[in-house]
Structure 1
Amino acid sequence: MQTKLSKFMSKILRHSPEEFGLSLDPNDGSCTVAKLIDVLRAHSKWSEISVSDVKEVVARCEKQRFEIIGDRIRARYGHSHDKVSYPAAIPPTVLYHGTNVQAAPTILKQGLRPMHRQYVHLSEGLHFATLAGKRRGELIILAIDTEKATQAGVVFYYAGNEVWLADVVPAEFCRINENAEEGQLNE
């Protein structure tokens, strides 16, 4: 049940809130938990859903896609509707991006671009980069030199829970992470 609810919440909060009659705050992409519950309960499969069910999905989501602050909930990242803004922040000296062997050569030539998303998604550690990259085929982890990128004008945004975003990351700041041994990737 949790996985299905998480996917449905992602569809609503990350991709098509208007399809469900939900208006998100244009600044942070949030709505009240009560409004989300109303939208969920409008579908017979979720008619008995409770606030605690939603809170459990938020707490247990391995990728930490959602956050609740006060009485409001939002998807932390991955929106395909209105662009949500995040505060610019100074990232750790290295961030990671999970991708696959087919995409890596293009990224190493052209840089990281958001493609069909609003931002490039990066992570502080190998765990989230691995989760993101594994679903795309044979995994390659890229390391991003954030100090040099920042000096060149790349702005990084903190989305919470080890997730960082950027509009683009030029190729000269991306390299294959040779230090990521297979055992480390599964940590």
Structure 2
Amino acid sequence: MNKRLTKISKYLSFVLKHHPDAIGLKPDPWGWINIEELVANADANGKSITAQQVKDVVAQSEVQRFLLSDDGLSIRAC
């Protein structure tokens, strides 16, 4: 994983595992967050990431920290 994706992975860990409220997100009861909403809220809070980068982090991570929903539209922390 390159440096940019590593930084995004750390940011996703912070947001998805600990503080989704820090960027105005509220996971559903099972912990899922819509990726487009995640990207928009991150961007509004000064973190420029794309949906593709989020998916690349999940795909390239050696440690399974995140899961994508079956339809690929949502993400959650493991």
TM-score of the pair, normalised by structure 1: 0.37
Could you tell me which of 2, 8, 11 is aligned with 1:5?
8
Question: Taking structure 1 as reference, are residues 16 and 51 closer, same or farther at Cα in structure 2, changes over 3 Å only?
Answer: same
Could you tell me which of 18, 24, 47 is aligned with 1:15?
18
Residue 64 (structure 1) shift:
1.1
1:72 alignment counterpart = 74
Identity across the alignment (%): 40
Could you tell me which of 34, 37, 40 is aligned with 1:38?
40
- What runs of 5+ residues in structure 2 fail to find an aligned partner? none
Taking the aligned partners of 1:64 and 1:74, their CA distance within structure 2 comes to 11
Q: Which amino acid aligns with 1:59?
A: A
Name the SS for the 2:57 alignment partner. Answer: helix
Partner deviation per Cα, 1:51-74 (whole Å, 9 max, x = no partner) = 111110011111110111121111
Q: Is the 8 A contact 2:23 2:45 kept in 1?
A: no
Question: Taking structure 1 as reference, are residues 45 and 73 closer, same or farther at Cα in structure 2, changes over 3 Å only?
Answer: closer
Structure 1 residue runs of 4 or more that deviate by more than 6 Å after TM superposition: none
Question: For residues 81-100 of structure 1, what are the structure 2 equivalents within 5 Å?
Answer: none
Residue 30 (structure 1) shift:
0.7
Name the SS for the 1:44 alignment partner. Answer: coil
Partner deviation per Cα, 1:1-55 (whole Å, 9 max, x = no partner) = 11110000011000011121100012x1111111111122123341xx2211111
Q: 1 or 2 for the larger relative contact order (CA 8 Å, sep ≥6)?
A: 2
Question: Which entry has the higher C-alpha Rg, 1 or 2?
Answer: 1
Name the SS for the 1:73 alignment partner. Answer: strand
Question: More helix by proportion, 1 or 2?
Answer: 2
1:63 alignment counterpart = 63
- What runs of 5+ residues in structure 1 fail to find an aligned partner? 77-187
Question: More strand by proportion, 1 or 2?
Answer: 1
Question: For residues 1-187 of structure 1, what are the structure 2 equivalents within 5 Å?
Answer: 1-26=4-29, 28-46=30-48, 49-69=49-69, 70=71, 71-76=73-78
